[in-house]
Structure 1
Amino acid sequence: MSRRNKDLEAEVLTWIFGCIGEPVPAGDFEDILRNGVVLCNLMNKLAPGSVKKIQPKGTNFQLMENIQRFQAAAKAYGLPQEEIFQTADLFEKRNIAQVALSLFALGRITQKHPEWNGPQLGPKMAEKNERNFTEEQLRAHEGELNLQMGYNKGASQSGHGGFGNTRHM
């Protein structure tokens, strides 16, 4: 299990409830978010109508569906699949650190949506990283041999004997 960052969790909760327009309730990070209702409300603030059905109470399966609806809406909003936490990470409290990182990433993605004028989370994202090289700079390394070309400063594998064998000295 990865290490949790309580400061990050508090910052994420402050951002979520700032977006929703409610005070942050007392309780643990995972307990506040576990049923998925807060997350669905957050997505509906970021992208109105993105979560059609929210189940406030019900069986574990129905509450996990809230989390899955949030995940689908977050992906549609632009959060990369690899940054979205697994349902069990939150519902079964398997990896709360990943949940916090996912929500932090979602807060960062809001910067790419000019229609969002609510609270921001995280550092400002870079918009461009343009580099201009002269033709001379681009050609500077053409005469050098690099390691991918087979030159490795005189080292060799002679005497190694093949894959999996130890070197006999």
Structure 2
Amino acid sequence: MLVHVRSDGVNAKYNEELATECLVWINQVTGGSVNTAGDMDNFYEVLKDGTLLCQLVNSIQSGIVKKVNNSKMAFKCMENINAFLEAARQLGVPAQETFQTVDLWERQNLNSVVICLQSLGRKAGNYGKPSIGPKEAEKNERVFSEEKLKAGQTIIGLQMGSNKGANQSGINFGNTRHM
């Protein structure tokens, strides 16, 4: 099967180190033993049918993908990829960090697949699984009393600047006035 690879720079952003990190992490979470080489060819071959992606999200949260198709028929593989994407959104991956099915199936933008897996890897820690990438910040909401808020209005912050000792002497813009 001949696969058309876009050469317009979309795949130029692809990072082999991040792809390797994703595949190693997938092995950790699923208990699998796929080839973890991060080159585009291997990354595509390992993930293209979507079965490993479905196993991954099912390992993070049991039963999130109800039916995994083991058929190699195109539409069945694309169903797997769609099921993975839906599960990833349910697990907290923001929509802007997911990818289109054709990005993986037609090998159009493997970088977006890596971004999605990295994002899912950060969320996995919330489900008691190993995570990858930087730890996500936790929400730190603060509540101030009305009295505290009013007290803050009387203070001139340093961002406003200071006018201690400032005057306009010595300033002359443009031409002086001739009389």
TM-score interval, smaller chain: 0.7 to 0.9
Residue aligning to 1:17: 27
- 1:44-83 counterparts in 2 under 5 A? 44-83=58-97
Matched, 1:6 2:16: yes
CA offset at residue 129 of structure 1? 4.3
Q: Does 1:126 align with 2:137?
A: yes
The answer to whether structure 1 residue 87 and structure 2 residue 101 are counterparts is: yes
Verify the 8 A CA contact 2:69 2:80 in the aligned structure 1: yes
CA distance in 1, matches of 2:36, 2:15: 18
Identity of aligned residues (%): 38
Matched length: 139
CA distance in 2, matches of 1:58, 1:32: 13
Deviation at 1:9, TM superposition (A): 0.1
Q: Which stretch shifts more, 74-83 or 47-56?
A: 74-83
| SS state at 2:67 partner | coil
How far 1:87 sits from its partner (Å)? 0.3
TM-score (norm 2): 0.69
**2-structure distance, mates of 1:5, 1:137:** 47
Structure 1 segments, 4+ long, off by >6 Å, are 131-134
How far does the alpha carbon of each residue in 1:71-98 deviate from its partner, in whole angstroms, 9 at most, with x for none? Answer: 1111111112221111011000000001
Where structure 1 has 5 or more consecutive residues not aligned to the other structure, the ranges are: 145-169
- Bigger CA radius of gyration: 2
Contact 2:54 2:83 in 1 (8 A): yes
